[in-house]
Every structure is written in C-alpha cells, then in structure tokens.
Amino acid sequence: MTRPSGPWHPPARTGPGPEGSGDTTSGDHPGDPHADAPAEPPVEPAGPPPEEIHTAWVLWLAAAAFGLLGMLINSATASFGDLPTATRDAFRDAVANTGSADVSVESMFSIALAAGAVLALIVAAVTVWLAFRLRAGKGWARTMLDIVAIFLVVDAVSVVIGVFGGVATAGERGDVVSFVVIALQILAGLCAAAAVWRQHKAEAIQYTTPGGGARAGK
C-alpha cells in the first residue's frame, strides 16, 4: 500500500454545525444552563411620585425661596447699627485682631453681608437640587435635606427667641422690613420642618428606599 505524497492533514470533522464544519461552539446546547434562561424584563419607567414626596418637594422649594429672599433682603437693608450690642463688640474685636488699620468695621460688615448673600444663593440652589433628587426617589437626598432642615429650623427658633427676648430690633431699616425678614426666616423653618415630616412618612420612606417602590427613572 502506497502513502500519498505531501504533508499529512487531519481528516475533516463532521457534526451538527453549519455546512458540516463541526463547530459545536455555536447554537444551543442541551447541557448549557443559560441556553434556555429567560431574558430579564426591561425596567418599566416609574410613574409620578407619591403624594407625600410631592408635598415634601413643594415645601422644600418654598423653604428655599423664603430663606433666599429673607437673606437677600437682610443683606440689602441691614446696617452695622442693627446688630445687638454684644454682637457689635465681638465684630469690632474680630476686625481689630486682623491687624489691618486700612480695614474699617463698616467695610468688613458690608463684605460679610455680601458673602452671606452669596452663601444663601448657593444653599438655595443646593436645596432645590436635593429636592428634585428626593422627587426622583433618592434616599441620600432625603438624608441631606434632613441636615438642611436642622439649620433652617434652628435659625427660625433663634429668630423667635430673639423677638420674644427683645434681642431682635428694627434698627435703622424700620419695622416693616424687619418684620418681613423675620417672617421669611420663620416661614423657611416651618416649611423645612413640615417637609421633613412628610418625607419620613411610610409611603415616602418606601419610595426612597432602594427596591422599595417605583422610581422616576433617574
């Protein structure tokens, strides 16, 4: 028996693959546990948030608006003489400790008011953003808003104590403007407290808990 000349080639495999190629890597296999696994259903877009979350969202927008408006009016109308005596003395001591003779108390007070207005703008913007994250079902936004509420409520309580304790006075800007500023601060604190109460109701907690309810798809 004669051997064919040339290099030796392995015989071609035959099998169930396409065109007899014997490719067993394509197609479904009876032993593959993932071959017949059903595809995961697509995530359905969530509907509107529950009433508790919507109410908290509206209250947070109102708290941000009241707090910002009160701070801007206060920055535009306040003067150094409106501060209580103890606060004026502490402010003078702080300016004197800077060691700069070119800086007056009034100019530093104006700078402090401008910085307070800028800070109020930033805080209001962050509060509004967190309110929208809360409306989207984010639990961490609820926690951050709880912290914001602490500052707003403490500020409102301090204003009330100052009014009844005789510390808060109209000063040079008049009774009407002082009343508006104080009222806005108190309203901001009340809205924040009510928002925290609504966002901690059972329905709101379920909505802002991962896997606990519908989401806004964000």
| pLDDT, tens digit, 9 for 90 and up, residues 109-161 | 788 888 889 999 999 999 999 999 999 999 999 999 999 999 999 999 988 88
Residue 177 reports pLDDT greater than 80: yes
Residue written as token pair 């995961």: 40
Residue 216's pLDDT band, with cuts at 50, 70 and 90, is very low
pLDDT per position as a tens digit, 1-41:
555 555 565 555 555 544 444 444 444 445 555 445 555 54
Residue 202 reports pLDDT greater than 80: yes
Residue 88 reports pLDDT greater than 80: no
Residue 217 reports pLDDT greater than 60: no
Cα 98 to Cα 176: distance, rounded to the nearest angstrom: 36
Contact 55, 63 (CB under 8 A): no
Angle CA 76–59–165, to nearest 5:
55
Residue 86's pLDDT band, with cuts at 50, 70 and 90, is low
Which stretch of 134-138, 190-194, 206-210 has the lowest confidence by average pLDDT? 206-210
pLDDT value at residue 45: 38
Per-residue burial over 66-96, b if 16 or more Cβ lie within 10 Å, else e, is bbbbbbbbbbebbebebbeeeeeeebeeebe
Cα 150 to Cα 165: distance, rounded to the nearest angstrom: 22
Residue 60's pLDDT band, with cuts at 50, 70 and 90, is very high
Residue 43's pLDDT band, with cuts at 50, 70 and 90, is very low
- Residue 46: partners with Cβ closer than 8 Å, 6 or more residues away: 137, 214, 215, 216, 217
pLDDT value at residue 190: 96
- Identify how many contiguous H helices and E strands the chain contains and give both numbers: 6, 0
Tell me the percentage of the chain whose pLDDT exceeds 90: 41
What's the whole-number mean pLDDT along residues 79-106? 68
Helix H, strand E, coil C: the string for 196-209 is HHHHCCHHHHHHCC
